[in-house]
Structure 1
Amino acid sequence: MSKASSPIKMEGLSKPRGKRWDHLELLERIDSSGSISAAATAMGMSYKAAWQAVESVNNMSQEPLVIRQPGGSSGGGTSLTEYGRRVVATYRRLEEAWAAVPASVSSMMDDFDRYYSLSRRFDMQTSARNQFLGTIKHVKKGAVNAEVILDIGGGNELAAIITNDSADHLGLEIGSEAYALIKAQWIILTVDTDFKTSARNSLTGTIARCQEGAVNAEVVIELPGGKTIAAIITNDSVKTLGLKVGGKATAMIKASHVILAVPS
């Protein structure tokens, strides 16, 4: 294996760069402590930054790497799934093998091919708070625009409306992977689904976090399958809707507000 093609430089999963944290170390600390708060403290991260990192990792993975454990005086703990432990173990084995005997890495390429592609997903930097990896289920072209249906797992789908030129440029095909990016400010929340709306997408789940600021609040909804979606709404809207952790809420997103991207 040539130096130029060496896969062991796992950007975004090895060392912090600026404010970008080591996702792999965070996963390990969560697994050992059973607490995201303890893991964040040990790494010098804020609790919010740690949760956002965990949510990003879960949303970019086909299977959840981290799950919440209900119960306990503080609302339960947090732990890695078996899939998450395999991801962490594979990365560490690869690092050790590469440091000791580079040739031995070839014996683990099956695992590497599977999990290294996951590490690359964490490198994408965007201002969109919500990032989902999914599989294209349907592409329907019209005169100018195309409707693309993305399966993001857990029985959840997202519809996006983009131009035919964009669909062709991205090379969108049924069965291929794509990312859906949605700004938190574009999401409308409701607790009542018994009405008609022009929003093409609606994702219903349980409120996992509700953090109020001076004017606005960030509301994070955990969807079936372990993925999360975050919305920014006013504090007044939180009170009007009666949003509380543990309650149900639906995130509505216009198809034109879903941005699609593909791996480079």
Structure 2
Amino acid sequence: MTQSPDEAAREPLELAGSVWFKSGERTLGGASRIALLAAIHETGSITGAAKAVGMSYKAAWDAIDTMNNLAGEPLVERSTGGKGGGGTTLTRRALSLIDTFRAVEREHRKFLERAGAAIEGFAGDWAMIGRIGMKTSARNQLYGKVASILRGTVNDEVSLALPGGQIIVAVLTHESTETLGLTEGVAAFALVKASWVILLVDDGRGPVQLSARNQLRGTVSAVTRGAVNAEVSVALDATTVVTAVITNESVDQLGLAQGQPVVAAFKASSVILGVTG
């Protein structure tokens, strides 16, 4: 049964946060990857560890390969002997990472508890600070919550509801959905490069017949011309803006100007989804 806003408001507020290990600009991993390492240590096999943390065997190995690559040294030592990989062990470096992560996580929890007790509105502000501090090469960084997940044979179709109610659809592999921990209601962000966004004049007659699954309606808020291309910002609502980079010629042909209704379109395969914790 869905809670009413009044019922949700009466529930006690709690702080939430997560710890991630970084080396320079590289993110090695957070709680889920450290849990996988700990499970490997406890079970002695990739199969057992994957089951213990709720991952598929392939997703577990993908995470291990990523951690080994980013660490610059082995954390998990492969062993021969079939799919189960019996006798798989962690290096001393990996064991040290587990201990350090758990110690830092304990202190992180204490910090959140102290800050939550001392600072009014800390939980919401802290989450927002994490989102706005994110750095990527994608111009469009759109925050929302997972509205639905449609499972396919190989890939999943994930719908992300933006604050204003419009939906972004992304196509990603089962392993990616699993690794990111995507379920209905989970907060996530969508990354879309400005060069992937196509603009169309909105005639108000409904969805345009395009192969692009995502068609977001808004109004032009700014047009910044360069020598060859122009950067066009489209306000979807009071809080969300999508930016497209198109040629100056296209701006002229479409007659784009501030306040004009347009549709920002891009393929579901062009959307990269991520989570902050």
TM-score calculated relative to the size of structure 2 = 0.56
Question: 2:223 matched to 1:210?
Answer: yes
Q: Please state how far the C-alpha of 1:123 moved relative to its aligned partner.
A: 1.7
Question: 1:167 corresponds to which residue?
Answer: 177
Per-residue CA shift, 1:144-200, capped at 9, x if unaligned?
000000001112110000111111111101011111000000000000455411111
CA-based RMSD of the aligned residues comes to 1.9
Gaps of 5+ in 1: 1-6, 8-102
- One-letter amino acid matched to 2:160: L
How many Å separate the matches in 2 of 1:235 and 1:184?
Answer: 15
Per-residue CA shift, 1:19-56, capped at 9, x if unaligned?
xxxxxxxxxxxxxxxxxxxxxxxxxxxxxxxxxxxxxx
Question: 2:9 corresponds to which residue?
Answer: none
Over 3 Å counting, the alpha-carbon distance change for 1:241 and 1:113 in structure 2 is same
- One-letter amino acid matched to 1:227: T
Question: 2:136 matched to 1:123?
Answer: no
How many Å separate the matches in 2 of 1:119 and 1:210?
Answer: 28
Question: 2:229 matched to 1:227?
Answer: no
Over 3 Å counting, the alpha-carbon distance change for 1:104 and 1:196 in structure 2 is closer
How many Å separate the matches in 2 of 1:226 and 1:235?
Answer: 27
Question: 2:161 corresponds to which residue?
Answer: 151
- Aligned pairs for 1:1-264 (under 5 A) are 105=115, 107-109=117-119, 111-192=121-202, 195-264=208-277
Q: Please state how far the C-alpha of 1:105 moved relative to its aligned partner.
A: 4.8
Gaps of 5+ in 2: 1-16, 18-112
Per-residue CA shift, 1:114-150, capped at 9, x if unaligned?
2111111122110000001110010111110000000
How many Å separate the matches in 1 of 2:209 and 2:255?
Answer: 21
8 Å contact 1:155–1:225 — kept in the other structure?
no
How many Å separate the matches in 2 of 1:201 and 1:161?
Answer: 11
Taking every aligned residue pair, what percent have the same amino acid on both sides? Answer: 42
- One-letter amino acid matched to 1:183: K
Q: Please state how far the C-alpha of 1:110 moved relative to its aligned partner.
A: 5.3
8 Å contact 1:133–1:177 — kept in the other structure?
yes
TM-score calculated relative to the size of structure 1 = 0.59
How many Å separate the matches in 1 of 2:121 and 2:167?
Answer: 28
Structure with greater Cα Rg? 2
How many Å separate the matches in 2 of 1:105 and 1:203?
Answer: 38
Over 3 Å counting, the alpha-carbon distance change for 1:105 and 1:127 in structure 2 is closer
- One-letter amino acid matched to 2:228: V
